[in-house]
Structure 1
């Protein structure tokens, strides 16, 4: 491990070197105790000096390590795509990564403009690149940034690749001694190809009136271009949130799922009489959908599960022969997609949380046609982007709106139809801060409830599974109820994912009221764990 003194002496950025030099011994010890590691979405951390933050030294050493791993896999000299979002530090970090890769002998496409994360995933797959690097912290707070790696046809890295890179980082040279070769920006052709492919997911015809926000991120112009190529040009944008702004000034937290984050969007949707409202997260790999309803505000945001049902059903309905089609969702997502797939004679796979697993979903004799996670991530064109993609999902949602209008129906009608066919599915989530999530999980394992909301439940402990299905999670299932409990990967919290299912019925009002009462009881139980 590099000492603090050596790190400071060899920090290529005088700003972070000076910052570290001014830290007291306790702060220095804290920053050097736990270097950043690859989690669900790559490296992520606060913008600050030292190995536990995002800075030039960390980016340079990480990129050097990535280069060594690629060379060990006989990919030396291969093509690597480097992209970035518009966060603080992103341009400098992406530039440094591109230069290190070039110095290590790789051919580098350094994207000429801040771009959505799925553009890099697409480029790696389309060009047969050895790897891709995207500098992004997605929907994290303004002072964070991150480093995401794609390999194997545009898929996010999994073990052992992530651990191999981390091991190589420990033997990386001092950051200021790692070679860097200037790289010119490029990639106009691959960006154009991405936009054309995103537009091509459209199946129907006809216009749609859309309200859109990129939430101060990089998705605005990309979404407008893709929608226009798809023949959807009646798009109204939230002007205050359209231009990229790394400070995210109009939202407390730049995540469409957060309370209040889509208030400006829904107000605009109501003002212009939109048929659908779309919110992208700052790196545009996630897509949230709002629809008009009869509630007091006139509009509501769909859950990620509801959008997942709609898109999964729509895509399967377009197939001539769905018998070889595979759709996938995660262990914490709703079970309705499985029922939808079965109704078409298609196949469904359940994976662990995160698109690094969803993108690898397989079943014998099938091809993946759609995957989603409840956290508003949707992969609607796996042959092109083997990851979540907010831009192509936005095109497909607008396409669905137009297709439904041609039938005299709306998104709400489509959700009602799914509920009548497959039963009301009502989801919810509880996140509870605990002193130690590991101890909380151990206590729950030692004394699991025999019943929830008065319903007897069985327990499936996923930590006892083998291989890629093994994870630290507990699944409680009973008649019409399902609760998944797992520790947060980033905070001292227990997260519970709740679903209530009712048998198919024409009386949706009564079924939904019953499901809501059960969900409330389950949420109360989860809040006590």
Structure 2
């Protein structure tokens, strides 16, 4: 059966490279490799598609992409009125990204839709902004973000400029299932290739952010071999910020990401080169984007010398206070996710505005606002930030370029005031208590191991962790405080601590999010030492409880 499916796939595949790969496996009789490619298929969900490049339905390839485009077209046509639906398509610099974008444009126009193609490899937030700017009905971004070089992906946005949520994902997935052979799809040629005006429109939006007037800041920057550099440099120039020093070895887009093991600024070692550049150049601030520039990582000079990366929660707290101090109105809303720090709620209360907590992912964060709310800031601990102003967000998604501008402006203002970002973090700890967070992330390539670990914890949750009583267990599959059901478990512990355990939505990992809240009654450094010890003990206790290999 697998060989027959492979032969059928081979007959419709337009790509010489994947045809050659599949023919070689068939000729060699490599049943295991064939089964790996044909025993399942990449599932289309709220993150779209993401997976390893190669032949077959369980890989990212031209057939998979054309089927996805045809399914998206069918779903859009279901609710089309007089005008054909319009879709804007973007792509990064990964292997096959441009080819997948062109195939998408051909399938969409062949189905009678209007398609616009971004003018070259560009950051994901440019695509997300373009959806709203053009009044498109949907957007497609071909990217695997910070995944390894062998991967690619297909992210879908709806007409509001935000990533899709249920039930749209299942509706599009069903439409994809109904697609026949791709060599029988009608293909068009009438799409529009956009010019630089689409990038300028995005930059104009960023220039309206509440960035203050202070501009004296020295920044070291890396795009991690991705597509962020040129747009970020233009954004700094547009807003009057000094041009950052850029890591030469990582400045040009390179789909093989040769200087890093994983092109993710959260991974150990990924920021080593930009930290070296910052030390050598005496920079006040270190900024890294992930390869599609929708995430932003930051490091700052430490009080005792050297540079220390900020956690996503630390930068989220700083940016929240910065935005709330420069926007106005009691209808303002700030939002974060269930796995992020509880600090944002305390910051919002101090500013007398509402805060919201959503499931993980910006698809949920961008829908956190009730009709009476005006979202001005949202973040998730995985280095994703949406910075807005009094007129709301520039991009209805995470935006690593906008976040870079905001943190550079914040650092410039702190420098003008004779302060540092480290000082501002200490100020927050004194006002709200020290909210310290950490992660335990376990890569488990077998999905059954991830599911088994989650199920075991649900069946028998611990009564205590690291000497802290577990005061409540929240099963996220049952929904929580009005949130949609999702796979995961939250353990609430004594003294405001908590642990959330969930499978990653984009990688084969079990992810655990830890938080402790330490009152600050004296020296903040001493409180940080206590919090670090508490987090380490909690991490060890959780590892023992999960008993993972």
Which residue is 1:349 aligned to? 356
Superposition deviation, residue 481 in structure 1: 1.1
Structure 1: runs of 5 or more not aligned: none
| Partner Cα separation in structure 2 for residue 490 and residue 189 of structure 1 | 32
Superposition deviation, residue 104 in structure 1: 1.4
Which residue is 1:60 aligned to? 66
Which residue is 1:510 aligned to? 526
Which residue is 2:252 aligned to? 243
Per-residue Cα deviation, 1:413-444 (whole angstroms, up to 9, x for no partner): 11010001001111111123566222222221
- Which deviates more, 101-110 or 213-222? 101-110
What is the RMSD computed on CA atoms of the aligned residues? Answer: 1.8
What are the residue-to-residue correspondences of 1:302-321 with 2, within 5 Å? 302-321=310-329
Q: Number of residues paired by the alignment? A: 527
Superposition deviation, residue 29 in structure 1: 2.6
Which residue is 2:497 aligned to? 481
| Partner Cα separation in structure 2 for residue 489 and residue 254 of structure 1 | 18
2:157–2:164 contact (8 Å) kept in structure 1 = yes
| Partner Cα separation in structure 1 for residue 32 and residue 280 of structure 2 | 53
Q: 1:281 to 1:159 in 2, by over 3 A?
A: same
* 2:92 paired with 1:85: yes
What are the residue-to-residue correspondences of 1:107-122 with 2, within 5 Å? 107-122=114-129
SS of structure 2 residue aligned to 1:333: coil
SS of structure 2 residue aligned to 1:436: helix
Superposition deviation, residue 60 in structure 1: 1.0
| Partner Cα separation in structure 1 for residue 217 and residue 517 of structure 2 | 32
Superposition deviation, residue 490 in structure 1: 5.2
- Which deviates more, 440-449 or 338-347? 440-449
What are the residue-to-residue correspondences of 1:426-465 with 2, within 5 Å? 426-432=436-442, 436-457=449-470, 458-465=472-479
1:311–1:397 contact (8 Å) kept in structure 2 = yes
* 2:195 paired with 1:191: no
Q: 1:132 to 1:433 in 2, by over 3 A?
A: closer
- Which deviates more, 31-40 or 150-159? 31-40
Superposition deviation, residue 341 in structure 1: 0.5
SS of structure 2 residue aligned to 1:418: helix
SS of structure 2 residue aligned to 1:245: coil
Superposition deviation, residue 184 in structure 1: 4.8
- Which deviates more, 349-358 or 35-44? 35-44
Q: TM-score, normalised by structure 1?
A: 0.96
SS of structure 2 residue aligned to 1:349: strand
Per-residue Cα deviation, 1:115-153 (whole angstroms, up to 9, x for no partner): 000111101012221111111000111111111110031
Per-residue Cα deviation, 1:246-283 (whole angstroms, up to 9, x for no partner): 11111111011111110110111111111111000000
1:327 to 334, 347, 354: 334
* 2:78 paired with 1:72: yes
Superposition deviation, residue 192 in structure 1: 0.9
Which residue is 2:516 aligned to? 500
1:383 to 379, 386, 393: 393
1:127 to 105, 117, 134: 134
Q: TM-score, normalised by structure 2?
A: 0.92
* 2:528 paired with 1:526: no
SS of structure 1 residue aligned to 2:286: strand
Which residue is 1:166 aligned to? 173
2:188 to 174, 181, 191: 181
Structure 2: runs of 5 or more not aligned: none
